[in-house]
Structure 1
Amino acid sequence: MVESLREQQLRMTRYIRDPQANEPPPGIGARRLAVYRQLFFGNLQSLLAGNFPVLHASLPGDQWQALTEDFYAGFRCQTPLFTEIAGEFVEYLEGRTEQPGWVAELAHYEFIETALLLSAKAEPAHDPEGDLLDGVPLLSSLAEPLAYAWPVSHIGPEHIPLQAPAEPTLLLARRGTDLMVYFSRLAPLAHALLVSLQQWQLTGRQHLQALAEIAGIELAVIEEQGIALLRSLKEQGVVLGTRPNCTTPRRPPLARP
């Protein structure tokens, strides 16, 4: 029985995707199939190496080869866009729990830079002169608080950690007006405040009150530092101002770590 064109295409694509698990399509020479395989898989490998240069350099060659081959053969991407393949690779690595924990975290750290660089998000309407304490502070859509178990900003070919440190690595990634992405270290209070701003619509005072209650301390202990932090974030452009016409802020449920 003669195969349909679709069946022939599927047979060929299965082989190109995973030649170890699929029979080659009949009538096409091995050299020609190798050219097709190198064309498609080689382009993917080059794309991933460009998106994850530190990860690529930090992994042994055979480990990188095995991961990219397995990703190409078995992971079903949800997007056809080359600019979004990096995010799919991060998701793939997060599912490879047998890999050292720093692998997926380093990939995510590198991906965030690309995601912010390519982001087309527009900043929402806001009042740049709004009261940061009595109003509802608005975090820039081009700022992202990050938390990693591994010291991702220090990992490289010459520094591969054997175990995660006792303290997490807390970072802020943001895209500046010069269209460059910047990373900075965060103190625990700054990171907690940024996450709260990202997740909840509260007044600045309510954010600080909630953080104090979660930590089991009085608001007065962190209030002065928190107010200064909000103003500093506003000066950096991380906080844009306040949300307009936001008069019914929602309070998160309290949860102690």
Structure 2
Amino acid sequence: MSGAVHEADALPRFQQLQYDFTAHIRNPSAVPAPDDVAAERMAVYKRLVYNNLEGYFSKAFPVLRACFADADWHAMVREFFVNHHCHKPQFFQAAEEFLAFLQNEHQPRPVDPPFLLELAHYEWVEMMLYVLDVEPDTAGIDPNGDLLESAPVISPLVYNLAYQYPVHAIDPADPPTEPPAQPTCLVVYRDRTREERVHFLKINPVTARLLQLIESDPGRSGREHLNAIAGEMQHPQPEAVIEGGAATLVDLRHRDILLGCRPAAG
């Protein structure tokens, strides 16, 4: 608007300097450096800020990084610097900000792989499970109970995911150009060993649906969930679904995807 006062213009001088300083760091090719900061000092700050974040993104998204030539990767990170305004205060949350930028603001380019968003999300999930400060509440849970007759309890350290591309198996040297006919269903989870390692498990759509039902309707027994799935499938032998599902439930508990079970509601 003509005659409007820029937000920074109404601030004290030192805060105006901060605005000018950070604006130049974000977009040095378009925003001039403050007049009263030596060029050598400015160059140090520009290099440190950019290299710290770019290095962090390269470690948080290692497979995604390997899918890009250096110039294309750095152009995308610079686009993040210029256009994205972060809202998360902690440094490790910058990966979530980068994911949000890719999902909402990044302008797709011919050099971008078609699985860009899915791979970025998958790698962010892996990283978040490493740092997630959550201790599963096991009160009232029987770790060895009957998963069919009681209500299975899913761990909070679990992501039940579906992607068009096999993001867990992408080879940057030979990346896919088209999605396969069937989606890729994955459970990404952190175990409860002393090392608290993060794993992935490729599952079929039936197991994915079972986990979805357990999470959305936690009061129902494993048998009730499996009966519901057999009905959805219009399976001619529901007992076969229940038999196979019972083995799946035991395996999920063995992997710490399920914590155990509680008495079913009603």
TM over 0.5: yes
* Counterparts of residues 1-257 of structure 1 (less than 5 Å): 4-95=13-104, 96=106, 98=108, 99-124=112-137, 125=139, 126-176=141-191, 177=193, 178-201=195-218, 202-217=220-235, 219-243=238-262, 247=265
Structure 1 contact 135–243 (Cα < 8 Å) conserved: yes
CA distance in 1, matches of 2:119, 2:162: 11
What residue ranges of structure 2 are gaps of 5+ in the alignment?
1-8
Q: CA deviation at 1:119?
A: 1.7
| SS of aligned partner of 2:143 | coil
Q: Which amino acid aligns with 2:168?
A: S
Structure 1 contact 52–110 (Cα < 8 Å) conserved: yes
What residue ranges of structure 1 are gaps of 5+ in the alignment?
249-257
- Alignment size in residue pairs: 247
Q: CA deviation at 1:237?
A: 2.3
Deviations 1:88-142 (A, max 9, x none): 2122222237243311211222222211111221112222233312321101122
Choose 42-51 or 67-76, whichever is displaced more: 67-76
CA distance in 2, matches of 1:80, 1:149: 32
Deviations 1:148-196 (A, max 9, x none): 1111122132121111111111112222213111122112211221222
Distance 1:18 1:97, change over 3 A: closer
Percent same amino acid at aligned positions? 34
Q: Which amino acid aligns with 1:171?
A: L
Distance 1:127 1:13, change over 3 A: same
Q: CA deviation at 1:44?
A: 0.5
Structure 1 contact 71–89 (Cα < 8 Å) conserved: yes
| SS of aligned partner of 2:160 | strand
TM-score where L is the length of structure 1: 0.87
CA distance in 2, matches of 1:149, 1:171: 11
Q: CA deviation at 1:221?
A: 4.4
| SS of aligned partner of 2:153 | strand
Q: Which amino acid aligns with 1:25?
A: P
Q: Which amino acid aligns with 2:97?
A: E
Choose 21-30 or 135-144, whichever is displaced more: 21-30
CA distance in 1, matches of 2:169, 2:135: 32
Choose 116-125 or 98-107, whichever is displaced more: 98-107
Q: Which amino acid aligns with 1:49?
A: S
| SS of aligned partner of 2:42 | helix
| SS of aligned partner of 2:34 | coil
